[in-house]
Amino acid sequence: QKEVEQNSGPLSVPEGAIASLNCTYSDRGSQSFFWYRQYSGKSPELIMSIYSNGDKEDGRFTAQLNKASQYVSLLIRDSQPSDSATYLCAQMPGGFKTIFGAGTRLFVKA
Amino acid sequence: NAGVMQNPRHLVRRRGQEARLRCSPMKGHSHVYWYRQLPEEGLKFMVYLQKENIIDESGMPKERFSAEFPKEGPSILRIQQVVRGDSAAYFCASSRDRGHGQPQHFGDGTRLSIL
């Protein structure tokens, strides 16, 4: 079983809609979770971090963490074409090592 | 630019040659991580270094690959006798500290192509 699993997509949503990206992880000891955005040919860019159960909002982005279900998600409200990218879910089981999922490709149609 | 700096951005090598990839962390960061990304795949951890020390190299192939982070200068990822399968994007990331919740900030990567 992969340590961090994401649906590869592509996920296609119309402009203005809510995009919902999901991620499951296998290590129950994980304490830190991150969402990175990666445009094609570019480096990953940190957009959200979450450490405790519940929701965390930052602008149009909301991260949700459910440790009991080993599930973390990212909601993007009012999706824009510029949000089209690959979104990488990452966990930090402990210490320093960060484990990434393979990413979900998002397309926002104008 | 105070971000993570990697060079070169693109590197072309023939099979059997050596590839050297450089990474200068963000100002104030003393922890460096190297990742490899194959097309359509996620980032795979290779090695974690702190100044002059390799902390974890569990993701790095045992042969041909080595990494260092000297007291002065950038971190270097070295690949000897490159093969076609080494073609990938290599990303460096840095963090200020290690431990719970320390996010990593990435450089723009080096795209390595093996002819």
Q: What is the pLDDT of residue A23?
A: 95
In the structure, what pLDDT confidence band is assigned to residue A95 with cuts at 50, 70 and 90? Answer: low
CB atoms A88 and B43 under 8 Å: yes
Residue A97 has pLDDT above 80, yes or no: no
* Tens-place pLDDT, residues B9-41: 999 999 999 999 999 999 888 899 999 998 777
Q: Which residues of B touch A98 (CB under 8 A)?
A: 33, 45, 104
Which of A7, A38, A43, A92 to mutate: most B Cβ within 10 Å?
A43
Distance CA B41, CA B49 (A): 24
* Tens-place pLDDT, residues A14-40: 999 999 999 999 888 778 899 999 998
- List strand residue ranges (DSSP E) for chain A, in order: 4-6, 11-14, 19-25, 32-38, 45-50, 54-58, 61-66, 71-76, 85-92, 99-100, 104-109
Distance CA B13, CA A108 (A): 37
